[in-house]
Structure 1
Amino acid sequence: SPAGWLRTQLELQAKGFSGKLEEISPWCQFNKSAWASPTGKGENGWEELPYWLKGYVDLGYVLHDPAIIQNATRWIERILASEQPSGWFGPTSNLSGPDLWPNMLAMAALRSYYEATGDKRVITLMTRYFRWQMTLPLWKFLPGSWQKVRGGDNLDSIYWLYNRTGEPWLLDLARVNHERTSDWVGGVASWHGVNFAQCFREPAQFYQQTHDPRYLDATLRDYALMIGTYGQVPGGLYGADENARPGYTDPRQATETCAMVEIMYSHELLQAITGDPVWGDRCEQVAFNDLPASMTPDLKGLHYLTAPNQIQLDRANKAPMIENGGDMFSYNPRDYRCCQHNVAFGWPYFTEHLWMATPGNGLAASLYAPCSVTAKVGKGATARIEEDTAYPFDTHITMRIGLDQSAVFPITLRIPGWCSNPTLRINGAAAALPPSSKGWIVIHRSWRNGDRVELDLPMHVSIQTWKANKDAVSVNYGPLTFSLKIGEEWRRYGDDPWPGYEVFPTTPWNYGLSLPPGNPAASLKVERAATSAEQPFTPDAAPIRILAQARRIPEWKQE
């Protein structure tokens, strides 16, 4: 369960456009949607509704919000009722072809519903649906377009079902699925920003079945190529303001909001597959620095594109600097069709991946945020761990362990790559750090009710130089990347209760840091707010700020 600032994000999401999308989006009208039809007939039967639903279902369950759960369940019930004798489910408009892509999204929602409720109808439906996929001629299985590029999403659900049923034929389907998916082993199969964010992981997913390291290496190689070419900017993303384009590699290039949430899930999944904590670092980098900028502070509006150097959010056309014409920058809850629906799963999935199960019936803190987790540990004991922290705005993390009986099990803690000197206390006493295995600390012991673990992750200012972008620099403090505070004028447009906003600068923005050589970070001063705001992702409420010497550069002008 989320707490602190993370719970605030989720509650704002529930009150914002994401939680109220049925009032806003023509693709989420229950009485008209083909997704709500037991026969699969109706309007708007493609990706938009399941894009939203796969986040909306999880939002309800992580918040334990009965109203959201009840509303999401009525959609789930209609999807379950749409199953045909053949095994197909969902809108019949996708059956010609067939187009399997929308059902990949719907299965993500069904999986979350099953994990929350144990409703075995989900297992039955998915089993019959994958049996139906096995009957397709090869030329009709993932024949092209999104479904072929994004076949890893189908693979994700195949493995999910296999892990619950053990049916060996599912592994046969998985092999065919990999062979029919676009070739991500041979290189980057698509430079489309969202496609890359969710698809570069596909070889590593298949690695779980083959244990052939070339598949894992392919994912690492694809990621390194994209980031090395188009991601030489702060924030952990890359310039792909639809597609990553040769020659468009500087910090003015932007990334879709869809790509943010998709790559967060890729990082979450890859950390689980590989056990490499670098993927947790990368997920936090996007979650803490990029995702909040994609939406208004009240989460009632979003924009299509976010860039590291983005000084004005207006409705004017930015093409050809930005690939597509039209409004891409202003905040609007009614536009940006794919991102408007897909962003819903970003914070809920992040919450669900804070803690993960480990071998030895233990638990791993894979990402850090204020939360609690309840799980079976050891030989069947029930544990509840309360994680008290303001991370990433503070270095200290306290974990209070509640147990219905004493139990022996491991608690595994991720040590971020940027932290060189963590400290650990158990029940108030300093503890020697156990040997670290690739950035993880494993504490394997007998735990009692009321035990307490305190982890401190000291943060320091660091300067990162981007040689590929004219030796530009960015300033980091732990997992956070900082930007110049610019005065803002918000100009409202559109109708109540869901207006849009343009944002214009009211203070100069064209400053360059004046950093002394040798030890540039020493010239920067960190200041902390006396109290932490419920919504810390705003310029005025930010709990941490850094004071720096800078010079205005008149030659830097708005384009």
Structure 2
Amino acid sequence: MRRTPALLSIAILLPSLAAPAPAQTPKAAGAEGRTGTLPETAFRPLPLGAVRPAGWLREQLKIQAAGLGGHLDEFWPDIKDSAWIGGKSEGWERVPYWLDGIVPLAYLLDDPALRAKAKRFVDYILEHQHPDGWLGPIGDTAGHQPYDAWPLFPLLKALAQYQEATGDPRVVPAMRKCARRIEKAMDDRPLESWAKMRVADLAVPMIWLSARSGEAWPLDVARKAYAQGYDWRAHFEDFRFTGQAGVKYDLDNHGVNNGMGLKYAGVRYLLTGDPGDRSAIGTMLEKLDRYHGQPTGMFTCDEHLAGRNPSHGTELCTVVEALYSLELLAAITGDARLGDRLEKIAFNALPATFKKDMTAHQYDQQANQVLCTRDGDHIYTTNGPDSNLYGLEPHFGCCAANFHQGWPKLASSLWMRSADGGLAAIAYAPCVIETEVKGTPVRVEVRTDYPFRDDVEIRVTTTGAVNFPLRLRIPGWAKGAKVTSDVLAVGPGSAEVSPDRREIAAEPGRYLELNRTWAKTMKVSLRLPAGPRLYEGDNDSVAVERGPLVYSLSVGAEWRKVKDNPQFADWEVRPTSAWNYALEIDREHPGRSITFEERPIQASPFATEAPAVVARVKGRRLPGWTIEKGAAARPPASPARSEAPEEELTLVPYGCTDLRVTEFPTLGGPAR
């Protein structure tokens, strides 16, 4: 992220979690292999490579590899000629960001070319470790301060993943030396600026290092960082930013810092055991939802917290860092509701902010995004006029380096392990899990077109009989969810069992536990019925939801190239169809006004031209709803009135759009 006080943004949101839900949390898992007396967590992530994407999810990773993700090192100076590998370009955060995503991308796809790219950078960094233990440049030509620890936080996360994937024996010793040097740097000069705001991103690799090295002192490094860091739990308990930042832009109202800060207390819980730290995420998300929330599960921040107007932006870095925060917190807390928010962000905000071939991305996306141009006035809090263009590095280059972690880390976090030897589904997407339970090889295959369909089939294959619990997250919206299987034992989270014990009614918002002896290949079928819901938006507007998907009016788009890059290009996008509609909808019973139609599912289901499911709803034009400051004006107050003829509108998944309207006013009848 940039050094200047004009700052940047990264952030996220979950459903309101006003309080922890102990009854919904499975048994805690011990910190296997860790030193000291760290508190137990609900789940533990599996090593990189144990969960591999399949189906449409693997296709998204392949598109990423063929687009910007797999080629930045070939032409972008900040990676290709970085000071991290002896070059003259930026030597601060961009290579660490890039490695934090390209490493899991390379090994999840088992792509030799990508693995070679990652290895080249890792080799150089490890082979050029300074005698005092520091990794990478000590300051750079861009003016970054010597011994600024912040870039090492994402670097150490990347190295930990690399070690898990390769077993490289150099990694742990190099991390040990670097951790000692970071500790000395903190003694010489306490953490400040970005490092002070992001201490949880150092604590995570320190906890990992303690487990791998068998030593307790890396935990003390993490504790020292927390002692010098900004207290995000206190920040949200006394939340001051209840509207658009308009007086003072600072690190505490900066979007990226708020997004990274979401994991602050949950990670600190591993060092303190304080139950208040473990449950703090509820307050954090409730405050962001209330004052800055968006229908995608994100919040506005362009660069700074911007209120609930759906024409304000949310930075791409925000989205991927938010996902990472949720993945960690899902493991630490075991709260099923975090998986709901994880899916909502991943299946809406993440795919929407890319050109569909991932050769370009936006800095800011907007829920109501009807125009992407650089000319004229713009609504953003502090960002510049290029911010919602699609390109290589519109407005600022951090997102070009950092977006790579989004899909790969989601794939790696779909399933986790529990202390009792069980496996848990944190989120649903097609994937294959290969691991061992009690010394027995176990393969779990998830066959599904979710979130575009309601069914998930899980096949568990073992080489011998082994008893363990399988925990399935039942989303909070899945009323009437059912699990069909030949399970013999049912644990918490089941409401009733049919007489033949094969169909289980599952309670929404919990983990359903299937505890049995698994042998050979056994199948579990999960039905998650999704009905329409309405999100209450800005100025009494609504957005249409069904399951984890948010639905938008896709606005016709004219793409205009504004810049050629060495590879790919930058683009403006202008509307070619009407967008200013109010919906004719029954707010109390939305199912009476909205119908859904399933369509064939393409290899890339987020393609704009072929959505896998659409919603039909009636609406009327509102001629008075126009463009202001380069964006759709704030939604008119509901109920709106219109003399325009009624039209049938087709809404598509948010992630399938380039230009869109997501938050609509509702009609109160034709004008008289």
Which TM-score bucket, shorter chain as reference? Answer: over 0.9
Quick check: 306-315 or 322-331, which moved more? 322-331
Amino acid at match of 2:296: G
CA distance in 1, matches of 2:131, 2:189: 19
Displacement of 1:292:
0.9
CA distance in 2, matches of 1:322, 1:330: 16
Residues 270-281 of structure 1 aligned to structure 2 (within 5 Å): 270-281=329-340
Alignment partner of 1:475: what SS? strand
Amino acid at match of 2:70: G
Q: Does 2:495 correspond to 1:433?
A: no
CA change 1:436–1:464 in 2 (3 A) is closer
Amino acid at match of 2:276: R
User: Partner of 1:239 in structure 2?
Assistant: 300
Say which of 499, 512, 531 aligns to 1:460.
531
Amino acid at match of 1:176: K
Say which of 101, 108, 112 aligns to 2:150.
101
Say which of 407, 416, 427 aligns to 1:367.
427
Amino acid at match of 1:350: L
TM-score w.r.t. the length of structure 1 is 0.94
Say which of 181, 195, 198 aligns to 1:150.
198
CA distance in 1, matches of 2:109, 2:158: 16
Displacement of 1:506:
1.1
TM-score w.r.t. the length of structure 2 is 0.78
Contact 1:59 1:348 in 2 (8 A): yes
Residues 369-448 of structure 1 aligned to structure 2 (within 5 Å): 369-377=429-437, 379-427=438-486, 431-433=502-504, 439-448=510-519
Say which of 262, 271, 274 aligns to 2:321.
262
User: Partner of 2:225 in structure 1?
Assistant: 177
Amino acid at match of 1:170: P
User: Partner of 2:645 in structure 1?
Assistant: none
Q: Does 2:606 correspond to 1:558?
A: no
The CA RMSD measured in Å over matched residues stands at: 2.0
Displacement of 1:173:
1.9
Q: Does 2:175 correspond to 1:126?
A: yes
Displacement of 1:96:
5.2
Say which of 369, 374, 377 aligns to 1:315.
374
Structure 1 runs of 4+ aligned residues shifted over 4 Å read 94-97, 427-430, 434-438
Displacement of 1:324:
2.0
Contact 1:317 1:327 in 2 (8 A): no
Q: Deviations over 1:146-173 (max 9, x none)?
A: 1111111011111111122331222222
Contact 1:355 1:367 in 2 (8 A): yes
Displacement of 1:120:
2.2
Quick check: 352-361 or 214-223, which moved more? 214-223
Alignment partner of 1:101: what SS? coil
Residues 78-89 of structure 1 aligned to structure 2 (within 5 Å): 78-89=124-135
Amino acid at match of 1:63: L
Q: Does 2:72 correspond to 1:11?
A: no
Q: Does 2:398 correspond to 1:338?
A: yes
Displacement of 1:318:
4.1
Say which of 265, 289, 301 aligns to 2:348.
289
CA distance in 1, matches of 2:454, 2:466: 28
Quick check: 311-320 or 533-542, which moved more? 311-320
Q: Deviations over 1:428-466 (max 9, x none)?
A: 986343886961011111001111111111111112223
User: Partner of 2:162 in structure 1?
Assistant: 113
Contact 1:436 1:442 in 2 (8 A): no
User: Partner of 2:111 in structure 1?
Assistant: 65
Residues 509-548 of structure 1 aligned to structure 2 (within 5 Å): 509-516=579-586, 518-529=588-599, 531-548=600-617
Number of corresponding residues: 546
CA distance in 2, matches of 1:269, 1:517: 35
Displacement of 1:17:
1.0
CA change 1:318–1:257 in 2 (3 A) is farther
Quick check: 157-166 or 303-312, which moved more? 157-166
CA distance in 2, matches of 1:442, 1:431: 14
CA distance in 2, matches of 1:252, 1:495: 28
Contact 1:354 1:366 in 2 (8 A): yes
**Structure 2 gaps, min length 5:** 1-51, 237-250, 488-499, 629-672
CA change 1:517–1:331 in 2 (3 A) is closer
User: Partner of 1:486 in structure 2?
Assistant: 555
Displacement of 1:333:
2.1
CA distance in 2, matches of 1:523, 1:551: 14
Contact 2:474 2:508 in 1 (8 A): no
Say which of 472, 488, 498 aligns to 2:541.
472
- The structure with the largest helix share of the pair is 1
Identity over aligned pairs, percent: 36
Q: Does 2:72 correspond to 1:21?
A: yes
Contact 2:82 2:91 in 1 (8 A): yes
CA distance in 1, matches of 2:448, 2:508: 24
CA distance in 2, matches of 1:500, 1:134: 42
**Structure 1 gaps, min length 5:** none
Displacement of 1:217:
4.0
Q: Deviations over 1:48-92 (max 9, x none)?
A: 111111101110001011110011101111111122222211112
Quick check: 118-127 or 301-310, which moved more? 118-127
